[in-house]
A and B are shown apart, each in its own frame.
Chain A
């Protein structure tokens, strides 16, 4: 697991989420909103199920997908993991029953977050904040796969990248984006915990 990224502030001008009288509030610059929107859209398009023309509309309606396979893309597999560690057949069977609704749930949280970015003021209810934290988490999981973060040492290496003036290649740019989303999610979760403490 990753510890906090509390020192990532200097790299950007967003304000940490906090919990106060108005609820959970944050602030993002237009360029940061644009960046997040792009990331959310990327993950949404990864998760949108491929439409097959010969699909039985009834099975689709009840959420079944008999054509589903274990994802070959590592990032997608991380978002939609196998339910059993050493039983591929049982995992696939479970996937047929559940993957479609899992994808839809994730897309719902990602879309809700993207819509929230369109508002002038970032004031979130606890329910909205939950969708934001889920969406940011999925964005980070995908970025981490692209950055090849396999263990804590890799994560530390990426985390050390904090200076935007050093971003010369795609990998260092991705690392900075990853660190930004990590910092944003951490501040959001702290604000949510504070909100939960007040609401027993």
Chain B
């Protein structure tokens, strides 16, 4: 491995988890609003990058730094999470936003998918469409 993880100060504060992004937390807001304040774009989505045996660790970290503007420490942390755990949530936001990130990742050759934040591997996702 060529990249080492510097014990960066901001790595801890930037930890990406889907724990705080449950769709349920927003239900009260949608009940209050009469108009469509809570559109589809407001439901949080995750951008997931998956491990593969081809992409170089240095390159993955470079992509996180140059595309997202993440620090070297944060990029290395996310890269190692992909490498060791098989996947990492590297960004979140509205659906269109994370889809745009996914296409950018595909442009770089990284294997990325989008998923609803509430279905992030805990098996109780609230999927709208029941296909697949």
Contact = CB atoms under 8 A, between A and B. Distances in A.
A106 B54 CA distance: 18
Interface in A93-122: 94, 98, 101-102, 105-106
Task: Pick the 4 closest A-B CB pairs, nearest first.
Answer: A137-B109, A4-B2, A155-B53, A87-B132
Given A4-B58, A85-B113, A190-B2, 16 more contacts: A1-B53, A1-B55, A2-B53, A4-B57, A81-B111, A81-B113, A87-B129, A89-B131, A105-B107, A130-B66, A134-B107, A154-B53, A155-B54, A185-B59, A189-B62, A193-B58
Interface residues of A, number: 46
Contacts of A98: 99, 103
Interface of B: 1-2, 48, 51-60, 62, 65-66, 79, 82-83, 99, 102-103, 106-109, 111-115, 129, 131-132
B128 to A, nearest CB: 10
B59 A87 contact: no
24 contacts: A1-B51, A1-B52, A1-B55, A1-B57, A1-B60, A1-B82, A4-B57, A6-B2, A80-B106, A81-B112, A83-B114, A84-B132, A88-B131, A88-B132, A89-B129, A106-B107, A130-B66, A134-B107, A141-B54, A152-B53, A186-B58, A190-B58, A192-B62, A196-B65
A25 interface: no
Contacts of A88: 131-132
Interface in A20-65: none
A186 B132 CA distance: 38
A81 B52 contact: no
A2 B55 CA distance: 6
A163 B56 CA distance: 22
A182 interface: yes
B70 to A, nearest CB: 12
A86 to B, nearest CB: 4
A150 interface: yes
A133 B59 contact: yes
Contacts of A89: 129, 131-132
A140 B62 CA distance: 17
A194 to B, nearest CB: 11
A90 B129 contact: yes
Contacts of A189: 56, 58-59, 62
A149 interface: yes
Contact of A79 (B82, B109, B129): B109
A1 B2 contact: no
Contacts of A192: 62
A151 interface: yes
B3 to A, nearest CB: 9
A189 B108 CA distance: 13
A186 B60 CA distance: 11
A106 B104 CA distance: 11
Contacts of B131: 87-90
